[in-house]
Structure 1
């Protein structure tokens, strides 16, 4: 692909640095935002739920539309302005707090704006990478990005906790706002030439139609021999994972009475093993193929959560339960690191450039919507039946996601399947 070949090592380095800064900023805000909502603003449980939901709503409402325009517009420009907008939206939070007018509802509005811009920014980011590196290097590039993100998720919460203690939650969020502005400046300086894109992905030129272009993205995603089962399996995975994390928080913090430090350490360990998995991912993709790497991960996820479910069903507590949780999350982290670079690289390699924005946005929109539903359903199931039955339900959905992957042509997919799309 000519455009991808034009991307230099220097351009990828700048892109990687921008992604790294943004990942650490996001990890810091992941700690600061709950503190702001619960402790600074004194939100009720319902208000906390509304704040969390505000981060998912834009994906459900704008996801498909974003894909159309990311395929029409220059993706670098979309990413730059989305980053600037997100930085300004977050930057208004400490400003409103300092002036004494920050309330839950003004925070929700800012998060809706932030989330709307994130829909466009993330679709553009995922679709821009094939213009920066050749398709043959997409796997290693995605692996490097995932390693960095895993490092941010491991070290970021500790950094965020320290900054919140030193500066307070609102000022800490301002640091994340600055990280988005730095990201925008770095992306704006990328040396690449994006190809001109037609208004339609197939057939003779036609007048532009948002509905038709959305339909093209949906058909490509859900009719492709390997992408379709990958999409369906991933949607189920997001539903199960969001539900699992919701139940895990209640199980670990309420039933097992883990300290916040111990609870945070669980995810730090998962971050470390994700880093290891991402390091192994290029070798796995080249040796056994992208599809088999993804399938292996989808088979292991239910095993990890079955260990947690068995712990809850058996009423195991104390050190035994803690060991089970650490082993399960370490296992989940490793296969997540193994899978994600292969999934992203395969999707980028096999999808024509003209459809890449819509494919990425379609997947992300559906995934985030399923995550919101999974978290909501898990909460209702816990309230109705308890922790152990809810964990069993989570395992069943993880198994369903694995069965879809195993029983499909996805298991034969390789990164060089995308050569025809280049």
Structure 2
């Protein structure tokens, strides 16, 4: 994902068709491909719940597009972009590690059913706030609560995926699901803009779009309810511990210790963080360049240029998701991640240093490709190397780490770069960070392979 807004949130541009057929088996390790994985009923239902929910997320974002706080790319300076992203991303980061504990105590299918209904109910309240014409802290708090529930649901989806996709199909599942979910979010965003315009715009138009979002969340809940109650784990849901504050804190600490013991999983998260810091730098430079160098007196032209750059990032992410399952099986998950990170961000840095529109497209294309490839491989390693009864809290921590990394990159570039974004020096940071991250990952993987920790080593592509 390129970010939380309709424009910077485009990580891919691919559509996935999955018809409900009569296949009802789990994936075996024989063969690999899109047709086989879509033949798994559990995967189709989990994907359906994701698509419905993220379609609603796109509608939600479209309904709030006129509020600058929820469209960071519309901010006039990189510093304000960084502040807007921090407001959107960091509040959940304070509670994410704690609420992640419950993904390992409650049945994740139950979480998906009720959390989707909860966010539908919360959007009812949000619609009331919008209808009242409020554009203040009340609106901001209401949206942040809804976004927090969204992050909780996405962590549950990631933690539950290995229960419906196993073996060498897992990397394919990780390529399909998030990419298709982002496409659904983009479709929702575009559809929401069209609906809002069709009904006359304004606050009343936003309320209509929010009503559509509520419907999609109800659908997501209904789709999730078709999964078996125990189908997404945790495997031992009876070992729940105590849902007291002390019990939740101790559960979070236990999860962090488990992650420290499963070093390949921690490294996989670390490599994604390296990319997200790079991504934050790239976003900051892009905003500065379009507003300070390319279109200093034309905000609409600047937004259009950012839209083109984000479309390039979407194309890059699609290509990354398409290429990674096969390439990682051939070269190994960590080796493939390291190579695409170095090559992708190096070419992207050259584009950033040029401070031209074609350069911005190069940044989006290659940084987007690298990001999706690294994320697919890292998700697979984390899912396999982490015990199922701790997977929920680890993915919650993972989400927090990614958010912090994005804000870190944005903040560093915003304060170091000149107002027009013309800075080969800051662009060179991207190359250095990518090289250091890739070298670290490769050397550590050689000493301590991820496959040694995996529940099913065949799920993690590696050199044989």
Distance 1:299 1:420, change over 3 A: closer
Distance 1:242 1:368, change over 3 A: same
Deviation at 1:278, TM superposition (A): 1.3
- Determine the structure 1 residue equivalent to 2:215: 178
- Determine the structure 2 residue equivalent to 1:205: none
Distance 1:361 1:148, change over 3 A: same
Deviation at 1:155, TM superposition (A): 4.9
Specify which of 231, 237, 241 is matched with residue 275 of structure 2: 237
Q: Name the stretch that deviates more: 210-219 or 24-33.
A: 24-33
Alpha-carbon separation, structure 2, partners of 1:298 and 1:305: 10
Distance 1:49 1:402, change over 3 A: closer
5+ long unaligned stretches in structure 1: 202-207, 313-320
1:95-110 correspondence to structure 2 within 5 Å: 95-100=128-133, 102-110=134-142
- Determine the structure 2 residue equivalent to 1:418: 455
More helix by percentage: 1
SS at match of 2:156: helix
Distance 1:150 1:38, change over 3 A: closer
- Determine the structure 1 residue equivalent to 2:53: 22
Coordinate RMSD, CA, aligned: 3.6
Deviation at 1:192, TM superposition (A): 5.0
Q: Name the stretch that deviates more: 45-54 or 130-139.
A: 45-54
Alpha-carbon separation, structure 2, partners of 1:415 and 1:158: 44
In 1, are the aligned partners of 2:45 and 2:223 still within 8 Å (CA)? Answer: yes
1:408 aligns with 2:408: no
Q: Normalization by structure 1: what TM-score?
A: 0.82
- Determine the structure 1 residue equivalent to 2:44: 13
1:377 aligns with 2:418: no
1:217-256 correspondence to structure 2 within 5 Å: 217-256=255-294
- Determine the structure 2 residue equivalent to 1:94: 127
Specify which of 187, 194, 197 is matched with residue 237 of structure 2: 197
Specify which of 135, 139, 142 is matched with residue 174 of structure 2: 142
Q: Deviations over 1:393-417 (max 9, x none)?
A: 4444344333332332179545994
Deviation at 1:367, TM superposition (A): 1.8
SS at match of 1:408: helix
Distance 1:339 1:49, change over 3 A: closer
Aligned residue pairs, count: 404
Deviation at 1:43, TM superposition (A): 10
1:363 aligns with 2:406: no
1:79-90 correspondence to structure 2 within 5 Å: 79-90=112-123
Q: Deviations over 1:120-165 (max 9, x none)?
A: 3222121111222334432222222134135346655544443443
Alpha-carbon separation, structure 2, partners of 1:124 and 1:391: 36
- Determine the structure 1 residue equivalent to 2:329: 286
Q: Deviations over 1:220-244 (max 9, x none)?
A: 2233231232222222322231232
1:144-159 correspondence to structure 2 within 5 Å: 144-152=176-184, 155=187, 157-159=189-191
- Determine the structure 2 residue equivalent to 1:188: 225
Q: Normalization by structure 2: what TM-score?
A: 0.75
1:40-59 correspondence to structure 2 within 5 Å: 52-59=85-92
- Determine the structure 1 residue equivalent to 2:156: 124
Distance 1:230 1:164, change over 3 A: same
